[in-house]
Amino acid sequence: MSNYKDYWQYRITPETPQKAALADLLGSLPFEGIEETETELLAYAPIEEDGEELVRRLIELQSVVPFQFEREWFPGQNWNEVWESNFQPVAVGDFCYIRALFHTPRPDVRHEIIIQPQMAFGTGHHETTYMMMQTMSALEFSGKNVLDFGCGTGILGILAAKLGAASIIGVDIEKPAFENTQENLELNRTEGFEVRLGDLDAVPETGFDILLANINRNVILATLPALYQKLKTGGTLLVSGILTKEKDLVSGAAADAGFRLASAMERGDWSCFWFEK
């Protein structure tokens, strides 16, 4: 599927070494993707997005984390090619390997997932995906009902299917993510995975055995009580997309919602949590 669209590229340069924190804040804005370079962040918004409102909100964020930004219009590029060129495989030992179609296969891994990049992958993508997959390797998925909240490309739900989950529902509020997950389900011939467009209200079902949420702090904090209600007693919530410096905030909010922390891990600037109900 081609993706010729007009986009604004926002070139954002932090004035202090807080790139990960800034990327976390940018996650609350309507960007379709955020890329990380050595010195800056590149954020992409479709041309139909209200550019002046986005600029206003960026200016508000400058009072929280100092940064400079400029924007440039990119008309009619094939953004599939842009996203593909920036996507790097994610490998967790011999357990799982996520790659694009053009990457060399890894027959030595137990679970290989192929994706068609349709969006930019934000800062922390490798670290948080790695930790989620590594934690998933310690869980029993056979016969389980799974919710992939903020499914993005669908990779975690696809892995759950490969691990034997009976059913998976993936939901994402962003249409590009919804469409990309559908395409990746076809690429991996994944069955038993239903993807929905919307927020958590698009999933009225409850009684899930396992809930996967590799998303961002603001969404997690806002939805922890609702996520608790989605799980059956004894169910598991895996969470990442959380900066390590904010791990106490998130673990405290999870405890307030009724969760018990089973384990946690860190990689780079990011943390991953295993909670039980």
CATH topology of domain 4-83: Alpha-Beta Plaits (3.30.70)
* Cα–Cα distance for residue pair 119/109, rounded to 1 Å: 26
pLDDT tens for 192-241 read 999 999 999 999 999 999 999 998 888 899 999 999 999 999 999 999 98
Q: Cβ of 65: how many Cβ atoms within 10 Å?
A: 18
pLDDT tens for 141-178 read 999 999 999 998 899 999 999 999 999 999 998 887 89
Give residue 153's identity as a one-letter amino acid code: T
| Residue extents of the structural domains in the chain | 4-83, 123-276
- pTM (two decimals): 0.77
Topology match between the domains 4-83 and 123-276: no
* Cα–Cα distance for residue pair 49/172, rounded to 1 Å: 18
For 123-276, which CATH class?
Answer: alpha beta
